[in-house]
Amino acid sequence: MTIEVDYRFPPGVDGEQQAKIIAIGQTAGTWDARFAHREEVLRSHLGKVVKGLMETDGSSTVTISFPEANVENDISSLLTMIFGKYSMAGAAKVIAVRLPEDYGRRPQFGITGIREQLGIFDRPLIMAIFKPALGLSAEDHGAILREVASAGLDIIKDDEILGDLEVAPTLKRLEACRQVLDEVKQQTGRTVLYAVNLTGAADQLIEKAHLLVKEGANALLLNVLTYGFSVLDALAANPEINVPIFVHPAFAGALCAAPNHGMAYSVVLGTLMAHSGADAVLYPAHYGSLPFEAAEEAKIRDNLRSRNVFPVPSAGIHPGIVPQALADYGQDVILNAGTGIMDHPDGPAAGVKAFFEALERLNQGKSFALETVPDGFLRRALEKWGKV
């Protein structure tokens, strides 16, 4: 089995020559007569340049095939092989990675498992983020959760910036929020997921995740690009950490934003995440508050869904984007809103209800033009944020 990687080189770079350097230098390397007796084995580990294309702007795209035997069925060894040392060698960008179906790890829950946990199968899921990100007490988190959960929210998560801080220690936040989750379950029968941000030293993360689950956490949030793909793999593989893992894209811009260096967003947030055990992956929507390309967003969506991972377009999501988001995604999407819920003029509960009003209005085929929307939570949201 082989792994194919597409590299794009900017104008002025001999892409074919650089691809040959990668194919050899990132695999077995060169050898002399001392290893003639090992030549057959050594050659079996070499990468091969299999295709090249010169673009009209002078850039070139070259495909290299790598033996799967060179890596350890994980993302960390894969990255070391396809773009390790060479990532420091000059201008080149990884724009696609094609992995065998059984490479890496599939989600433990994913789209189907998260829907089963919530008992919701026929609509998009609505997710909120605790705001402000820092400075709230554990009790504040519980109060906010009570408000949005009572309005019908499906999922809430910590802000990715919030660690295990003295102002609201992780276990204290969980304790305050778990009481609310239990109340909602007892009173309504509904399950609401709370993705607790998992942070800490490497030698403590798995033990900490065990503790959080034992104390009632029903989902986890992980900044996988700062903590590492190996951490995500270990969490997803552990049978005692039997809750969905929501993955945040923090640090992705440092890897992906440069036009001629690094890796495409669709590779990092799509392909790699889809093969790493994530259950749901957050990333920017192209009509949100961060600059993002619609084509890259579509590739991420498709890469994730191909392995049953929930796509979670984020950053600037509000009720006015619901028609466009559902046109792009259909029903299998988690709409993740921070300020788009928490900063609603009538409060967070109204922000949640505005999303449900938007879903209902869309299902009825009604216009989102402001003058046609009756007074209520959705209209107030549209007056503040507009529509896409």
**Residues with Cβ < 8 Å from 286, sequence gap 6 or more?**
292, 293, 294, 296, 297
Nearest to 64 by CA among 80, 38, 77, 83: 83
Nearest to 3 by CA among 267, 235, 256, 253: 267
- Is residue 36 within 8 A of residue 27, CB to CB? The reply is no
Q: Is the peptide bond before 10 cis (omega within 30 degrees of 0)?
A: no
Q: What are the percentages of helix, strand and coil residues in the chain, rounded to 5?
A: 45, 20, 35
Burial of 186 (0-12, 13-18, 19+ CB in 10 A): exposed
Nearest to 228 by CA among 109, 74, 106: 74
From 85, 172, 208, 353, active-site residue: 85
CA 69 to chain centre: 28
Nearest to 153 by CA among 126, 187, 171: 126
How many whole angstroms separate alpha carbon 87 and alpha carbon 289? 29
How many whole angstroms separate alpha carbon 221 and alpha carbon 202? 15
Q: Is-catalytic flag, 93? A: no
How many whole angstroms separate alpha carbon 283 and alpha carbon 264? 13
Q: For residue 75, what is the enclosing H or E element?
A: helix 75-83
Q: Catalytic amino acids?
A: 85
